[in-house]
Amino acid sequence: MQDSPRAGWLAAPYVLWLLAAFAAPLGAVALLSVQESGEIFAPISLWPSAAQYAEILGDSFFLRLLLNTALLGLAVAAASAVLAYPLALWLTRLSPRAKPFGFAIILVPLLTNVVVRSLGIILLLAPRGVVSNAAQALGFPPLNLLFGWFAVGLSLVQVFLPFMVLALYDVLDGQEKRLEEAAAGLGAGPAMRFWRVIFPLSLPGLRGGLTLVFLMASTAYVSATLVGGRKVQVTGMVVLREGMEILNYPLASALAMLMLATSILVTFVFARAIGGMTPWVQARPPRSWPSLPPALRRVVVAAAEAVAPVVSRILLLAAIAILLFPLLLVAVASVNDSPQATVAQFVGFTWKWYAAVLQNERYLSDAWTSLQIALCCVVISLGLALPAAFALVRAGFTGKEAVGAFLMLPLALPGIAIGLGMLRLLQWFNQIPPFLGVLAVHVVLVTPFMLALLRASVAQLDRGLEEAAGGLGATPSRVFRRVILPQLAPGIAVSCVIGFLLSFGEVTVTAFLTTARLQTLPVRIYAEATFSLENTVNAISTIFILVTVALLVLVNRLMPLDRVWKR
């Protein structure tokens, strides 16, 4: 395991897997998008045609669809940034003993199934939900905030806010605290310290958070389908409909490729905008900005200092409430003696919905399928990610950073395109069992997260112990078993738990690949939440939440939660 160019070959299995299960589906989507005909049985042509793109760009419906989806993604990214700053700063200021509990507020929603969180937003905004009941108690008419852009935006903020918080926490926690202390010593108040010291230094993390949240929010369709009630149309929903219901794969593929192009364009714009705001990174002179007159500036600064503490506390409480309150509503609804899943008014306590879940063979069968896929996914992902982590840390070869970026690429591209491409590949090569197709995609989605965690664990290995064992005559395999593996054990366990939760709860891509004989539990919940309002949905969702909490408690015993994602 010493530094060697040959150690780079340890990443080869992961690269080959990506070529087969990531690049191939993406290539299939690219090929389908340039077909002349959208007919189901039309032969595949290798001569590219712009017919599908012309149809999309010449139709006002599709243009509005792409524009509205992009604006939704930008709005969700902006709202997430506003809410994430107070929460990320609060996390950096917690004591070491309290930080794991603070991170639980972030990680429990992050690792809980997206359908579960959307159900919580429905309970919050439904006609007889919490917000409507609160409005009536205050003398206002009942509200129905569901089935609109606000509801969809709020649900997406709830889903993707943890990613923004974690992106900002990494840079905020690493900032030099003496800079803020020096600014305070020079008389700067909290608002000016944030604007002049904290915010500029956090811009690299903000760029990563904005990019990640936009990429995910602009391609999401599960929350939009459930909370928007099909009255709000986003690109992902149309891709799913065109590909799964209408079977117009060329048009669906062209839409997916346009989503990819939009993602790349917005990522470039974010990079240029943040780059212009951080000239010191490129060693460029700062731009001169017009300044306010001194008297007006003093008024603005005084007003900002007066309202900043109150606004920051309100935003902090709002962020925590958005993350946790929907999950609490789902748990309460799961023991509510009401047959309708979206009624937040408590009728009476009952366990009958849990009994109905445990007696439902479909739930149990789908849970077993999800468990099999998740366990197989973790085993394969570990076998791919651990050698790749050693390759990226220990190997010294040209292009290592490029290889590392390629291995993390699935996180930056729309999952819808991967799901659509794998669906078409499974139809072309129908000898491949659907289980293997779903498993292959899950491995593609989960392995980058496990690689990031394991790469940090490998980087922290004590090389002195390995050298001492080698000096005493231990063979490389014995050094790995007796010295390296015990040091890696906590990191391996943590990455496996996180990978299991991500795979077990995945629904966005899996919905493309499930069949009548192969259904996962999250897809089952998604389908029932879409077409049925029985309260068993809340019961199985609460079980999801409890499993997530229990596994995170286990992770915290192995490694404090604040260290897990700081890696």
* 435-468 pLDDT, tens digit each: 888 898 899 989 988 888 888 778 877 777 777 8
pLDDT over 70 at 112, yes or no: yes
- Residue 333 contacts residue 126 (beta carbons within 8 Å): no
pLDDT at residue 275 above 50?
yes
Mean pLDDT of 309-336: 91
Q: What are phi and psi of 50, to 5 degrees?
A: -95, 15
The DSSP result for 306-338, as a single string, is HHHHHHHHHHHHHHHHHHHHHHHHHHHHTTB--
Q: Say yes or no to pLDDT of 1 above 50.
A: no
Least confident of 111-115, 161-165, 193-197, 288-292: 288-292
SS (H, E, C) 368-427: HHHHHHHHHHHHHHHHHHHHHHHHHHHCCCCCHHHHHHHHCHHHCCCHHHHHHHHHHHHH
Q: What percent of the chain has pLDDT over 70?
A: 92
Residue 336, beta-bridge partner list: 349
Helix axes 294-333, 536-558, angle to 10 degrees: 110
3-state secondary structure of 47: coil
Please say whether the beta carbons of 230 and 25 come within 8 A.
no
Q: In the prediction, which pLDDT does 532 show?
A: 63
Grade residue 564 by pLDDT with cuts at 50, 70 and 90: low
What tens digit of pLDDT does each residue of 220-268 get?
Answer: 888 888 888 778 889 888 888 888 778 888 898 999 899 888 888 888 8
pLDDT tens by residue, 52-92:
999 999 999 999 999 999 999 999 999 999 999 999 999 98
- Specify the DSSP element, H or E, that contains 87: helix 60-92
Q: Report the candidate in 232, 215, 283 with the shortest Cα–Cα distance to residue 76.
A: 215
Is 567 a residue whose pLDDT tops 70?
A: no
Give me the pLDDT at residue 6, please.
Answer: 66
Of the CA atoms within 13 Å of residue 560, those in its CB half-sphere come to: 12
pLDDT (average), residues 157-171 = 88
b/e map 75-111, b = 16+ CB within 10 Å: bbbebbbebbbbbbbbbbeeeeeebbebbbbbbbbbb
If phi over 0 gives left and psi between -120 and 50 gives alpha, with beta otherwise, what is residue 35? beta
Q: pTM score, two decimals? A: 0.85
Q: pLDDT value at position 166?
A: 85
Structure tokens at 253: 């593929």
The whole-number pLDDT of residue 464 equals 77
- Which is higher by pLDDT, 283 or 274? 274
Q: Mean pLDDT over residues 515-521, rounded?
A: 80
- Please write the tens of the pLDDT for every residue from 524-548: 888 877 776 678 888 888 888 888 8
Angle at 333 (CA atoms; ends 213, 341), nearest 5 degrees: 80
CA-CA distance, 322 to 553, in Å (whole number)?
22
Point out which residues pair with 340 in neighbouring strands: 534
Alpha carbon distance 331, 539 (integer Å):
7
Residue 309 confidence (pLDDT) above 60 = yes
Q: What is the rounded average pLDDT for all residues in the chain?
A: 83
- pLDDT band for position 199 (cuts 50, 70, 90): confident
CA 37 to CA 52: how far, in whole Å?
8
Instruction: With cut-offs at 50, 70 and 90, classify the pLDDT of residue 348.
Output: confident
Cβ(102)–Cβ(91) below 8 Å = yes
